[in-house]
């Protein structure tokens, strides 16, 4: 029997007779967002159940794991590999700093792979303990919605158990997609790329987003020959164009072969590997072909439409309002499955606000402005706020752009020819900083602090009045005094 819940703000009527449910909340999907929503809801006094597929590093329709994509086959293992890939070039640069290394420096992929796997297993256990300590009941199996207040869990032995819940939360995330190219079964996605038994010597990557440029950096840093094929002129569509060009230049400077305006047309298995054909008639032979061409919301097996939940017809994403509620009042959704802003920290925030809204009596909308994010290519790119192009589109007045391009101090000794680039986009009328970007070492660590300033509405004058930390790259953000370019306000169109 479910305990009496806290009143859900305006969402429930205090004098309405409570129906009896097995759970106040049942969550399908124990990734970052689902675990956060479960724990915080339980802290508000709710009786919470959650289900997740059994653990495996490579996801499918029948395996997953507590912790979800980010912990098991996303951000965390990816960042571990980025660290691993960074050591190779840094060891070479160490010679310039007086470190006398043997001529041959070997890299053991299997050692790193074992360490990576051990870490995600450890984190999987930590997430399970977090749920248990919060009093959340964890069920291992596949969950599906069978009614507005009913969830069916298909257990590992195939048996099905149905639970009732006052509220159901969908937090099943997303899954990597494969483009319909002949021979597509020969390619891998990021899931498999994080668990390859052998490090490839030759890699072809299709895609120009986060995952594509990150794996290009990882494999190149570990010594592989990398061919990066993408459809646009520059990688990272949607980012600031100037910073996209910086990333492309850095990737090329580190030995990655760039193929802009290029798609793949066919993959063929040969004795020497995989023969890849492009739409320009090129043929490339590779040990591994990685498809990094986007992800799709995990909704196919949830049975949502049969209970009336509206999905996006193109992507399959769950449609929700500003409070993460679907058109069925008892069913909610957060994270990548809603295809809003597909970032782990955003899913965490959505989970927090869901718990506040439904069980904390504090209906709360998420503010999606000034959310910082990073691309962990080598060196990384990190941004917050508006790009120059977005600012021009959205601002009513003039836009001032401040940039700084310099050789980091570390490179002056090592001899690496790789510039760090920083950028501020400022509203010419209000002096408010609208956006900040950086491509260079430690960019994400620096940008997290800049994000606080933008969230507080900082002006360029306030940046200028801040004393820098010297010597550091970060101080450049408070010493950019000269305007690089001024973009006049767009004239409103008039009808004739």
Mean pLDDT of 36-64: 95
Query: Is position 126 annotated in a ligand binding site?
Result: no
Which fold, 372-487? Enolase-like; domain 1 (3.30.390)
The three-class DSSP label of residue 136 is coil
Query: Is position 207 annotated in a ligand binding site?
Result: yes
Mean pLDDT of 483-496: 76
Query: Is position 212 annotated in a ligand binding site?
Result: yes
Cα–Cα distance list, 81 to 86, 282, 303, 492 (Å): 9, 30, 37, 49
* CATH fold match for the domains 179-292 and 372-487: no
Query: Is position 213 annotated in a ligand binding site?
Result: yes
pLDDT band with cut points at 50, 70 and 90 for residue 495: low
Measured over the CA atoms of residue 434, residue 438, residue 443 and residue 444, the dihedral's sign is: positive
Q: Phi first, then psi: give them for residue 305, nearest 5 degrees.
A: -65, -30
- Answering whether pTM is above 0.85, one says yes
Residues in CB range of 161: below 8 A, 6 or more apart: 139, 152, 153, 155
Query: Is position 174 annotated in a ligand binding site?
Result: yes
Alpha-carbon span 169 to 216, nearest angstrom: 36
- Give residue 154's pLDDT: 97
Copy the structure tokens of residue 49: 């159940």
Beta bridge partners of 96: none
Query: Is position 173 annotated in a ligand binding site?
Result: yes
pLDDT tens digits for range 134-184: 999 999 999 999 999 999 999 999 999 999 999 999 999 999 999 999 999
pLDDT tens digits for range 254-277: 999 999 999 999 999 999 999 999
Q: Phi first, then psi: give them for residue 104, nearest 5 degrees.
A: -105, 120
Copy the structure tokens of residue 481: 């005094």
pLDDT tens digits for range 330-386: 999 999 999 999 999 999 999 999 999 999 999 999 899 999 999 999 999 999 999
Copy the structure tokens of residue 141: 């199996």
Q: What Rg value do the Cα atoms of the chain yield, rounded? A: 25
The hierarchical CATH code for the domain 23-176+296-359 is: 3.50.50.60
Mean pLDDT of 318-329: 98
Alpha-carbon span 489 to 423, nearest angstrom: 19
Alpha-carbon span 119 to 325, nearest angstrom: 35
Q: Which of 89-93, 401-405, 461-465 has the lowest mean pLDDT?
A: 89-93
Alpha-carbon span 67 to 57, nearest angstrom: 11
Query: Is position 360 annotated in a ligand binding site?
Result: no
Copy the structure tokens of residue 376: 């962990």
Beta bridge partners of 161: 153
Q: Where are the domains of the chain?
A: 23-176+296-359, 179-292, 372-487
Alpha-carbon span 160 to 142, nearest angstrom: 9
Distance spanning both ends of the chain, measured CA to CA: 69
Q: Which CATH architecture has domain 179-292?
A: 3-Layer(bba) Sandwich (3.50)
Residues with catalytic roles: 470
**Is residue 475 a contact partner of residue 446, using CB atoms and an 8 Å limit?**
no
């Amino acid at each position: 029997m479910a305990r009496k819940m806290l009143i859900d703000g305006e969402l429930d009527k205090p004098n309405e007779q409570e129906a009896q449910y097995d759970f106040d909340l049942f969550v399908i999907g124990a990734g970052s967002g689902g675990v956060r929503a479960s724990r915080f809801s339980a802290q508000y006094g709710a009786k919470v159940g959650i289900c997740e597929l059994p653990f495996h590093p490579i996801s499918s329709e029948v395996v997953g794991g507590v912790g979800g994509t980010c912990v098991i086959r996303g951000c965390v293992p990816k960042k571990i590999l980025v660290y691993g890939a960074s050591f190779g070039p840094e060891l070479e640069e160490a010679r310039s700093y007086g470190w006398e290394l043997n001529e041959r420096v070997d890299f053991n992929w299997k050692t790193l792979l074992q360490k990576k796997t051990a870490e995600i297993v450890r984190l999987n256990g930590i997430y399970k303990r977090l749920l248990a300590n919060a009093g959340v009941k964890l069920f291992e199996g596949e969950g599906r919605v069978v009614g507005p207040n009913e969830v069916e869990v298909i257990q590992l032995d195939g048996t099905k158990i149905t639970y009732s819940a006052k509220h159901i939360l969908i937090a099943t995330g997303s899954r990597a997609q494969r483009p319909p190219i002949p021979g597509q079964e020969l390619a891998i996605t990021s899931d498999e790329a994080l668990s390859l038994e052998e490090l490839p010597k030759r890699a072809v990557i299709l895609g120009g987003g986060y995952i594509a440029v990150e794996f290009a950096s990882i494999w190149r840093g570990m010594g592989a020959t990398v061919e990066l094929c993408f459809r646009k002129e520059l990688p990272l569509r949607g980012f600031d164009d100037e910073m996209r060009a910086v990333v492309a230049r850095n990737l090329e400077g580190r030995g990655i072969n760039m193929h802009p305006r290029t798609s793949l047309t066919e993959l063929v298995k040969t004795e020497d590997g995989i023969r890849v054909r492009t739409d320009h008639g090129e043929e490339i032979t590779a040990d591994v072909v990685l498809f990094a061409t986007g992800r799709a919301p995990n909704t196919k097996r949830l049975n949502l439409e049969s209970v009336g939940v509206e999905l996006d017809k193109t992507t399959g994403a769950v449609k929700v309002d500003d409070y993460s509620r679907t058109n069925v009042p008892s069913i909610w959704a957060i994270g990548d499955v809603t295809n809003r802003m597909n970032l782990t920290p955003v899913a965490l925030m959505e989970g927090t606000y869901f718990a506040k809204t439904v069980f904390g009596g504090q209906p709360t909308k998420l503010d999606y402005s000034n959310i910082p994010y990073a691309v962990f290519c080598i060196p990384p790119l990190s941004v917050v706020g508006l790009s120059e192009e977005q600012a021009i589109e959205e601002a009513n007045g003039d836009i001032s752009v401040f940039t700084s391009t310099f050789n980091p101090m570390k490179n002056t000794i090592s001899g690496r020819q790789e510039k760090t680039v920083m950028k501020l986009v400022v509203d010419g009328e209000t002096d408010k900083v609208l956006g900040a970007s950086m491509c260079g070492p430690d960019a994400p660590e620096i940008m997290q602090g800049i994000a606080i300033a933008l969230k507080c509405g900082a002006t360029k004058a306030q940046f200028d009045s801040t004393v820098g930390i010297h010597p550091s790259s970060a101080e450049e953000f408070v010493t950019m005094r000269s305007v690089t370019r001024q973009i006049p306000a767009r004239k409103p169109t008039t009808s004739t």
